Chain A
Amino acid sequence: MSRLPFDPDRRSHKSKTAADARALSVSEVSAMVKTALATALPAKIRVVGEVSNFSDRTHWFFSLKDDTATLRAVCFASAARRVGFALKDGLQVVATGRIDYYDAQGQIQLYVDKIEPVGEGALDLQFRALCEQLRKLGYFDPERKKGLPGVPQTVAVVTSRTGAALQDVINTANQRWAGCRLLLLDVHVQGAAAAPEIAAAIDALSAQAFRLAIDVIILTRGGGSIEDLWAFNERIVADAVYRCAIPIVAAIGHETDTTIAELVADVRCATPTQAAVTVVPDAAALAHQLDQLHRRLGLVVRRSAEHARHTLAGWRRHPVFARPDRLAAPVRERLTTVADRLVATSLRRATSARDKLDALGRQLAAIGPSNVLHRGYSYTLDPAGRVLRRALDVAAGDRITTVLSEGQLASRVENGATSTPRRRTRGPRNGEPGLFA
């Protein structure tokens, strides 16, 4: 028989009796437990554990557990409202509160005032810090974001070969334009190797884009926890996206997840499908546009030809071509007119000349001797044939000739000049024309 720490025979008669004499009530025991807990445990404790059996009924009821033990917990609505994230089974948390005994159910519970995520909390701080840093450096500036090509020659997709995201991109691209060329660059999208791989992929594409005729990149992966997506919050990836020479469309995680890579990228899309819709044009719409362009081209050419034809017809109708003879008519008319005038003028001139001549002739005749002779005058010529003006110039017996208007008379002077000359008539002065010019 093993030695007992006490001698059962030596136990006091009193305590044994006391134990037999009075049994404690449940409430009494409960009160003792409560007191013991209050005494033994600090008023406020922080407990780390995994959430399980979570149920949200205004108040949060759940358990915190680790490998060997479970602790029931309750977070009343007032406190639950202040928790900045959603609780779910499997989440590692640090719950702050007090241990107490819920006597109605005989449960020791943690009454929770505050819940913080474990690990996620740290990552959250890291995310916010890097965000601020990059924002200050201008990584998120809208001005530096590049535009996307309307019709890309080739689209590079940086993602995991085995992920659903890739399939979404392929299917959507095929639906919109089966001719869109996609090139996959397979990378790890989570884990330690991911960030450097993703950065290297983007750098390589940026450097070789021209040679490969790539004009846009889709960077994508499916949903996951913040730890799963963490590679896309790493500085190395942010830098690669920032440096990239060609536009990047990023779709990481679910709609509500935002990673730094997406903030630096030129376009952020909520899902891989959305990314494909943004990058790949609708071929049917483009084909329609081409048809319209073709029609318009035909139309302007037809109009142009019509216009030319119309102009030509117009010229053909023009008198220059329709009645070319009419061009000559006015000229001919003018010629005729001019000719007529020439003739008329010439005639007039000739007539007037003749008239003048006639007039002069008459004038001449008027002042010529024949007119005078016709009036009865005559002139006498001396024997030498000179006109006789003075009787003294001839002597008796001279032969003189008298010229009459008609005919001549030969005479001999009988008597010389008489002694009484008649009144002297004025003779011609020098230069003045006489009767006989």
Chain B
Amino acid sequence: MAKDKPIKLKYEEALEQIERIVERIESGEAGLEQTIAEYENGVKLIDHCRAILDRVEKRLAELTPDANGQLTTDDDDDSDA
């Protein structure tokens, strides 16, 4: 579950985590081995944020209410929020 989290993170949450990683390394709070692990995690988070920025939305999707008033998109593509 811990591995899946970065993929689902919102941009701002990811950013916050990266900042904290930098702080932890800078303060010396993390030991040498942990520093390397934190660095790798940080790079993964940065890449995740870059991917969010670099994506291109194909077209404007429209929300329409179904019979129950539930709004649904017409592109059926809300798997990656």
Which A residues fall within an 8 A CB radius of B? 149-151, 153-154, 156, 161, 170, 177-186, 204-205, 208, 212-213, 283, 286-287, 290, 293-294, 296-297, 300-301, 303-305, 307-308
Least CB separation from A150: chain B residue: B12
Please determine whether A179 and B46 come into contact, CB atoms closer than 8 angstroms: no
Q: Knowing A204-B71, A286-B53, say if A300 contacts B22 (CB, 8 Å).
A: yes
A204 to B22, Cβ gap below 8 A? Answer: no
Question: What is the number of residues of chain B that contact chain A, defined by CB distance less than 8 Å?
Answer: 38
Q: Is the CB of A290 within 8 A of B50?
A: yes
The smallest C-beta distance from A71 to any residue of chain B, in angstroms, reads: 51
- B38-76 interface with A by 8 A CB criterion: 39, 42-43, 46, 49-50, 52-57, 60-63, 65, 69-71, 73
Residue with the highest number of chain A CB atoms closer than 10 Å, among B19, B32, B50, B52: B52
How far does the alpha carbon of A213 sit from the alpha carbon of B22 in the complex, in Å?
29
In whole Å, how far is A368's beta carbon from the nearest beta carbon of chain B? Answer: 86
User: Considering the chains assembled together, what is the distance between the CA atoms of A213 and B62 in angstroms?
Assistant: 14
The minimal Cβ–Cβ distance linking A77 to chain B, given in whole angstroms, is 51
- Residue among A186, A204, A283 making CB contact with B62, cutoff 8 Å: A186
Q: Is the CB of B22 within 8 A of A297?
A: yes
The chain A residue with its CB closest to the CB of B36 is A301
B71 engages A301 (CB within 8 Å): no
Q: Are B53 and A290 in contact (CB under 8 A)?
A: yes
How many angstroms from the CA of A301 to the CA of B25 in the assembled complex? 7
Q: Could you pull out 7 A-B pairs where Cβ atoms are within 8 angstroms?
A: A204-B65, A286-B11, A287-B50, A290-B50, A293-B15, A293-B46, A304-B25
- Closest partner residue, chain B, to A185 (CB atom): B63
A290 and B49 in contact (CB under 8 A), knowing A151-B10, A208-B70, A297-B21?
Answer: yes
Q: CA–CA, A156 to B62, complex, Å?
A: 9
Taking the closest CB of chain A, its distance from the CB of B5, in whole angstroms, is 16
